[in-house]
Amino acid sequence: MRLTVIVAGISLACGLRVASAPPSAPGVASMEHIIVYRDPQFYCAFPSVVRMPDGELVCAFRRAPDRRALWGAPGHTHTDPNSYLVLVRSKDDGHTWTSRPELIYAHPMGGSQDPCLVLLADGSIVCSSYAWALIPPEGQQKVGDALSHPPFAFLGGYLLRSPDGGRSWSGPFEPPTVPGDVSKDALGRPCPAFNRGAILPMPDGSLLWAVVRTDSLRPRHSSVHLMRSKDRGETWSYVCPVAQDARVTFNETSLIRTRGGDIVAFMRTADFDGKAAIARSRDGGRSFEPWEDGEVFGHPFHAITLPDGRVFVVYGYRRAPFGIRAKLLDPECTDFRQAPEIVIRDDGGNTDLGYPWAVLLPDGKVLVVYYFNIADGTRHIAGTILTFEK
């Protein structure tokens, strides 16, 4: 079989285009690997993607200078004063993408991270993000524990909204601090709520967002809590805890609403051998049952509902062989532990990859976007189009 890769609409004979799924992908009929955006001058990571009502795909990601490639830095970092939120578009279900990214937002105080997109019922897009400020040596003592990734101090979360498919944006809208959060931001204020993961639109038009609360600084420990917006992301109010534990740390979380109406949270953990944690609400998000051990290594997670009601959950896999994995769950997400694991990619260069995000395509296909590297090379935004067995 001839192997090719699709790069911004150009076919190159040096990568992959897989016409059929391997045995390690149960339930999948075929997979096609694509490149969404790659530029050797830039380090690109942490994507998300939505499909607009007219069928256009909008993929957002964080782009920063590749300081290793450009100037010989000893390695890569996930914090950079010049990391901006950008997007690219596809009008052919992900096969080709615009080559010149459009700017979503450049934070005035520092570098932005993880643009998480959600499409609302009115066709507008909400984007959640957070940022880091570069602190000079003279100011590092002043910011104290906000300097959690020296020389960067955390600025907390914010949200943006676009009425026109990402061509213009309003905001930023700053969410309140989660009650009980003990952290300060780089400006010495209570830290605004934040998280990486999918915000959940509800049938009544409200939005649910699983956010991080810093419970202690030394040692640093966090839990996940639910907030609700009734005005399309401009203001938020606290609802309830999602998961908290004296030993296990919870952070990056995606939410999904099952066909039966349950809300399921898929959470990344720390101090838990890299395993998933799952929490469930049976009352529309007013409360959550005690969290459960997902017994699956991987992070972070993203979930979507397929036309037949099953739930597709995708996650990064930062153990050899490095790559992207997924599971097909029953409509109520009760079989996460038992469901066979689907290996989407196992050719990654190292742990610096992942953060997948899925979107439904016509005819029941799914596009998964993620950041990737081959043999420790350029960090880029890649994708896989999956066709499921009937």
pLDDT of residue 20: 58
Which of 7 and 156 is assigned the larger pLDDT?
Answer: 156
Q: Count of residues for the chain?
A: 390
Residue from 260, 314, 307 nearest 283 by CA: 260
Q: Let me know if residue 325 belongs to a domain.
A: yes
pLDDT of residue 19: 47
Q: Let me know if residue 39 belongs to a domain.
A: yes
3-state secondary structure of 215: strand
Q: To the nearest whole number, what is the mean pLDDT of the chain?
A: 94
> pLDDT-based confidence at 21, cuts 50/70/90?
low
Q: Let me know if residue 14 belongs to a domain.
A: no
Cis peptide before 172 (omega within 30 of 0): yes
Q: Give the integer Cα–Cα distance in Å for 108 and 326.
A: 37
Q: Let me know if residue 160 belongs to a domain.
A: yes
The encoded tokens of residue 148 equal: 């959690």
Rounded to whole angstroms, what are the CA distances from 122 to 51, 87, 118, 163? 13, 20, 12, 9
Q: Cβ contacts of residue 258 below 8 Å, gap of 6+? A: 264, 305, 311, 331, 332, 333
Q: Let me know if residue 19 belongs to a domain.
A: no
Q: For residue 138, report the phi and psi dihedrals to the nearest 5 degrees.
A: -65, -20
CATH of the domain at 367: 2.120.10.10
Pairing of strands 220-229, 366-372: unpaired
DSSP characters over 159-181: EEEESSTTSS-EEEEPPPPPTT-
pLDDT of residue 278: 99
Rg over CA atoms, the chain: 20
Number of separate domains in the chain: 1
Question: What's the first-to-final CA gap in the chain, in angstroms?
Answer: 24
- Residue ranges making up the domain that contains 83: 28-388
| Amino acid at site 268 | R
> pLDDT-based confidence at 8, cuts 50/70/90?
very low
pLDDT of residue 390: 82
Mean pLDDT value across residues 266-287: 98
> pLDDT-based confidence at 2, cuts 50/70/90?
very low
What percent of the chain is modeled with pLDDT above 90? 93
Tally the C-alpha atoms within 13 A of residue 46's C-alpha that lie toward its C-beta. 26
Diameter of the chain measured on Cα atoms: 62
3-state secondary structure of 20: coil
Q: Let me know if residue 57 belongs to a domain.
A: yes
Q: Let me know if residue 22 belongs to a domain.
A: no
Tell me the whole-structure pTM to 2 decimals: 0.94
Q: Give the integer Cα–Cα distance in Å for 137 and 357.
A: 37
Q: Let me know if residue 4 belongs to a domain.
A: no
Helix (H) or strand (E) holding 69: helix 67-71
3-state secondary structure of 345: strand
